[in-house]
Structure 1
Amino acid sequence: MNKLPGAVLLMSLAALYNCGSSDDRVDIRGVGGEAGGGQGATSGGDAPVGAAGESAGASAAGSQSGETSAGAPNVTAGGAAGEGGTPSLAGASGAGEGGEPAVLPNGAIVAEPYLCETTGPFAHVQFDEYFYLDDFDDASIDLPGLTSSTEAFSSSVGAALIDSVDCDDGVLDGKCTGCDSLFATTGSLELTFDAEVLGGLPTHVGMVWTDGAYDATVTFTGYDASDAVVYSETAQGIGDSSNYGETAEDRFFGIVSSGGVKRVTISNPGGGIEIDHLQYGR
């Protein structure tokens, strides 16, 4: 395989779907290529959406609800429709009929249970220009067009406190020994994307909240090229009472915006925050 600095260039979607890589993953999907067998039914409006289907091994009971800052209906992660009949996104993290790529509508994905990118909300999306995923297992931020408000990693605090996505070690077993995640003591992180470097702002941005305060309230906000808020969602009651690497609490937060996403922030009050599997594509 060809190497990029700190990242492995994967030339096939199948390579992206292999869990357990210790490097950052880069997937360039050709125009007209199909994405791994999942067909997504889109929702009818620009509302927060919960990707249908649980991540492998995750309990639907553990999924949380998102509440928009503008008071839009809650939408429960896992595919249930929100109050008022707001449609949810169907099929984003599960295989559908016909082998066609999933098409996600503009909106936010809030607190979706997540164990691996192969079952995540972006798993079956076709990205015609670029797609990058950083698992932070090399304890560096080295993907193109990406700037982070912190470059601290959980491994610097201690191996026992690392909360990483479950599948990064190649085994779904409720832990990821020897993995890593991005960490901030302030309880807040900001990730910024460079349109010039990337050739255009990402239309899909997501990350996995892996740890923070117990019973945390997590807020995820995306901004467009003019720094106007695209979506801002809050999920309550996330996080267990342990800081020692458990993965059942891991939740995906994402934004889909056809106009492009310049930056995103994620925060929880009352302590530090860890994220993993930052992913962005166009």
Structure 2
Amino acid sequence: MHPYALRLLSSLLCGLPLLLAPAPASALLFGPTPYLDATDSPFFGLGLALEDFENGLLDVAAVSVNGGVVLPPAPLTDSVDPAGFSFYSNEFHTLVFTFSGPLPTRAGIVWTDVGFLDGETETATAMGDVIFEAFDENGVSLGQIGPVLLGDGTALAAPAEDRFFGVLHPGGISRIEIGMPDSGDFEVDHLQFGVPVPEPGTATLVVAGIAALGWRRRAA
């Protein structure tokens, strides 16, 4: 079986958390799930473009963002990579990553940390609600994850709190958004996206995954 099919099947059988809110039948949302390195992505090994910001830039082809800046290694920089870089919201409550050219059919990002909530100036709560949303080729929402409470109560780098959010949609993904309604002081890392090469059996597996998602919604 193609690795793409194996990876998706493994995610479904292991009970990878999926969005329970309404979404198009062909879309699957993933997360939030623990993420320590690239192998923790449900899309690992599928020919992804991975932006880890380790050159100090967001310069992967065919993607742009509405705001934010890259943070260099520092005690308060929470990167997936040891002593690495991250992407900081810099007072933006929502980071919007927009894709151009051939649209990806799977995309994801890792939330890594939060410091101050709105109105805080001295002591950081370092916990807050996170929302992830993805949009199809026409800009129509594919569904939303959250708000979900994330954070460990400290703004210091701590990879145990890192969480992956992602989406699979065969029709194409025009953008993904990750944000915190109550904070513009959060970080993300490991932006990833790609277009799979369809092989026999993959489409059948995706349909099975969609059916499983529908069952979970009914059960909920």
Q: Indicate conservation of the 8 Å contact 2:68/2:95, yes or no.
A: no
Q: In the alignment, which residue of structure 2 is the partner of 1:181?
A: 86
TM value normalised by structure 2: 0.72
Structure 2: gaps (5+ residues): 116-125, 196-220
Question: How far did 1:35 drift?
Answer: 4.2
Matches within 5 A, 1:91-170: 106-124=27-45, 126-127=46-47, 131-155=48-72, 159-165=74-80, 168=81
The answer (yes or no) to whether the contact 2:68–2:92 under 8 Å persists in 1 is no
Could you tell me which amino acid in structure 2 is paired with residue 164 of structure 1?
S
Task: Name which structure has the greater RCO, CA cutoff 8 Å, separation 6+.
Answer: 2
Q: Would you say 1:222 and 2:137 are equivalent positions?
A: no
Once the two structures are TM-superposed, the CA of residue 216 in structure 1 deviates from its matched residue by 1.8
Question: For the structure 1 residues 70 and 106, does the alpha-carbon distance in structure 2 shift closer, same or farther, using more than 3 Å as the test?
Answer: closer
CA distance in 1, matches of 2:149, 2:34: 13
> Number of matched residues?
181
Distance 1:256 1:66 in 2: 11
Change (3 A) 1:42 1:235: farther
Matched-pair identity in %: 29
Aligned-pair CA distance for 1:51: 8.1
Contact 2:67–2:92 (8 Å) recurs in 1: no
CA distance in 1, matches of 2:88, 2:8: 35
Name the residue aligned to 1:212: 114
After superposition, the C-alpha distances for 1:223-261 in whole angstroms (9 at most, x for unaligned) are: 112111012111522111111111100000000000000
Give structure 1 stretches of 5+ with no counterpart.
1-31, 44-48, 55-64, 72-104, 169-175
Q: Call closer, same or farther: CA 1:241–1:66 in 2, change over 3 Å.
A: farther
In the superposition, the TM-score normalised over structure 1's length comes to 0.57
Taking only aligned residues, the RMSD between alpha carbons, in angstroms, comes to 2.8
| 8 A Cα contact 1:51 1:121, kept in partner | no
Indicate conservation of the 8 Å contact 1:163/1:210, yes or no. yes
Query: For residue 278 of structure 1, what is the amino acid of its counterpart?
Result: L
